[in-house]
Structures are given as C-alpha cells and as structure tokens.
Amino acid sequence: MIGKPCLLPLLIEKYQALIRRLTEDLLIGGQVVSDYNNRMTGFRGEEQVMNFHLEPISDLNYRIYHDLRFLHGNYYFQIDILILCAYFALVLEVKNWAKDWHFEKVLHQTMIDKDGKLERVKNPIFQARLQAFKLREWLKLHNFTGLPIKYLFVNSNENTNIIIGDDNKYKWNVCNSEYLLERIDQISNDFKIEFYDEKELRKINKLLLTNHTPENPNLLQKYNLTRKDIRSGVHCPKCNFLPLQYHAGTWKCPKCRTKSKTAFIDTLNDYFYTISPTITNAEARSFLQIPSPKITHHLLNSADLASTGKFKFKIYHK
Ligand SMILES: [Zn+2]
C-alpha cells in the first residue's frame, strides 16, 4: 500500500511561488531557477519510480513512502523512497541526472560524464547507505530495533547508463528503475523471517507519518532577497500573469482573458510561501491590491484560513 503518496513537495511549491513573483532581472541566469529546475527534475524521477515502477507492488504487503524527512540529533536526514514490509526495509536514493554513472571499484569514487570528461560527484550508493544507517539509529531511538534495512541507488533516467564492474562489491546496491522490481524480489528472497507483525507495522507507519518534517526554508533569506523583490497583485490561475484586474468580485486576466472569483486564494498562498506565514488585513490589501479593508476582510474570511486576534489585530495563517 502507499504509506505516503508522491505529492509535489512544499519546497517545490515555494520555488514556484517565488519564481512567479520575482522580476525578470532577478530570474535570468540566476541560481533560483537553476536550483528549482534541479529539484523538479529530481521530483519527476521519484514520481516515475513511485507511480510507474513501484505501482505493481503497491497492492502487496509493502508499505511505500515517498519523501520522508526526520530530525536526528541536530540535523535532518531525508529518504527519497522507503519500502517497508514485515521482513525488511529498503531505502531508495533516486537520481534523475542526464549523465552516465561510472562506479570505480578500488576507492569507490563515482564519476559522471560531463562533455566527454569524467567529473567526480558524491557516491549515491553511499548516500543511500548513510540514510539507511540514520534510519536504523532513528528507529532505535523509538524502540524499533533489529529490522534489516537495505539500501539501493536507483537511476531513474532511462536515457543514461550505469557503468559498474562485475567485481565491484556494491554492484547489488545500484540499479536502473526498470530493474527495480526484480531487485526487490531478490532482496525479499533473502529475508524469510517475519520481523514485525501488522500491529507493529502500523505503529511504525504512524511514527513515520507523525515525525515527517517537510523541508521548509525561507527562500528570501537563502537567496539574499527582500520582500521588496516580491511583486504584488493577484496572479492568473492559467497563465501566471499579474496583476489581474479586479471588478465586483471577479478577477480578469488582461493577457489570456481568464476570469476567476477565487484567484486571490493562490495569491495569498504565494504571500505565505515567499514573505511570511501570517498576514494581516493591511498586508493583504497591499498584496492583493484591493483598497477596501471591508472587501479584504470578506476575502480573508472566505479563504478558509486559521486566525488569531480580533478586529484590526487579527492575523491570518495558512
Ligand atoms: Zn492569464
């Protein structure tokens, strides 16, 4: 079953809001777009593995989790995909790079092809192994010990090759996504002793889901931007143009002629994702470009937001 489905991570939604709101000159050739594209490519790879390659076993006795992130000590560790069953757990590190992977057998260095030259990168097998190690330690802290935890680097890019020698001792810790089911079959053949019963698996399931903490950085800080760099105005739900024209409860896009009565809700989300997790009536008026406090009050109340305080001190939260 799917323990945690593959949904667009909060971080990617925050990047999308930021990119929509920055002016061209801050975007062109900048780090923001390049980091966003890398994240998105990675997500597309994980999505392909989750929704296509693992789909045939999602009805069996496996619990499959996409994107788990836990605090361990002072740091977080993150697992792209976790497969859990009564006999073992399997940590997948998924990469969707458009480069061939070369694994060397003596020092276990990893290289990718960059314009015909080999360039050294972090060994993704060791990244997977480290996440498995941290998961083992973390589960131990929560009184779940001893479950065998295997790890695997999965190349989800079907246009690239993995080059690894037959004598490389990590050759069973790496595979292409099309071979993943076969590898899971092989691993499951090695573990015949039931480690946890259904009740304990349900407990672990709850532990994983309640402790998962999505990556949620302040992107303005990360890229040395200020709130002045964020463009205000309600954006078009279809073409992202902003600001839309407001008249009598309806926003209209001058570019693609889309009309919407609810476009302000996504714009409030952009505010929460880029500027602050809370908003006041005055701040919403300025961001939505609505002069009337009364209309803004009505819009904020209809947006289904949590709120604290009263009257002019009222603060709305996502
Ligand atoms: Zn539009």
Q: What is the pLDDT of residues 66-107, one digit of tens each?
A: 999 999 999 999 999 999 999 999 999 999 999 999 999 999
**pLDDT value for 59:** 81
Residue 57 Cα to ligand 1 midpoint, Å, equals: 41
CATH number of 232-317: 1.10.10
Residue 230 Cα to ligand 1 midpoint, Å, equals: 19
Distance separating alpha carbons of residues 116 and 103, to the nearest angstrom = 16
Residue 13 Cα to ligand 1 midpoint, Å, equals: 19
Structure tokens at 297: 């009050």
Distance separating alpha carbons of residues 308 and 317, to the nearest angstrom = 8
Residue 259 Cα to ligand 1 midpoint, Å, equals: 8
Residue 219 Cα to ligand 1 midpoint, Å, equals: 26
Would strands 315-317 and 306-308 be described as parallel, antiparallel, or unpaired? antiparallel
Residue 254 Cα to ligand 1 midpoint, Å, equals: 7
Distance separating alpha carbons of residues 137 and 148, to the nearest angstrom = 12
Would strands 101-103 and 162-164 be described as parallel, antiparallel, or unpaired? parallel
Label residue 307 left, alpha or beta by phi (over 0 means left) and psi (-120 to 50 means alpha).
beta
Residue 48 Cα to ligand 1 midpoint, Å, equals: 30
Task: Report the SS3 class of residue 215.
Answer: coil
Q: What is the pLDDT of residues 215-254, one digit of tens each?
A: 999 999 999 999 999 999 999 999 999 999 999 999 999 9
Residue 54 Cα to ligand 1 midpoint, Å, equals: 37
Task: Report the SS3 class of residue 178.
Answer: helix
Report whether 61 contacts 85 (CB < 8 A): yes
Confidence category of residue 313, pLDDT binned at 50, 70, 90: confident
Residue 202 Cα to ligand 1 midpoint, Å, equals: 46
Structural domain spans, the chain: 2-211, 232-317
Residue 32 Cα to ligand 1 midpoint, Å, equals: 23
Residue 248 Cα to ligand 1 midpoint, Å, equals: 18
Residue 209 Cα to ligand 1 midpoint, Å, equals: 38
Q: What is the pLDDT of residues 167-201, one digit of tens each?
A: 999 999 999 999 999 999 999 999 999 999 999 99
The angle subtended at Cα 278 by Cα 223 and Cα 272, nearest 5°, is: 45
Count the Cβ atoms, other than its own, within 10 Å of residue 211. Answer: 13
Mean pLDDT of the chain: 95
Task: Report the SS3 class of residue 99.
Answer: coil
CATH class of 2-211: alpha beta
List Cα–Cα distances, 66 to 43, 98, 207, 209, in angstroms: 10, 22, 15, 11
Whole-model pTM over 0.85: yes
Residue 234 Cα to ligand 1 midpoint, Å, equals: 11
Q: What is the pLDDT of residues 266-285, one digit of tens each?
A: 999 999 999 999 999 999 99
pLDDT-above-90 percentage for the chain: 91
Peptide bond before 243: cis, by omega within 30 degrees of 0? yes
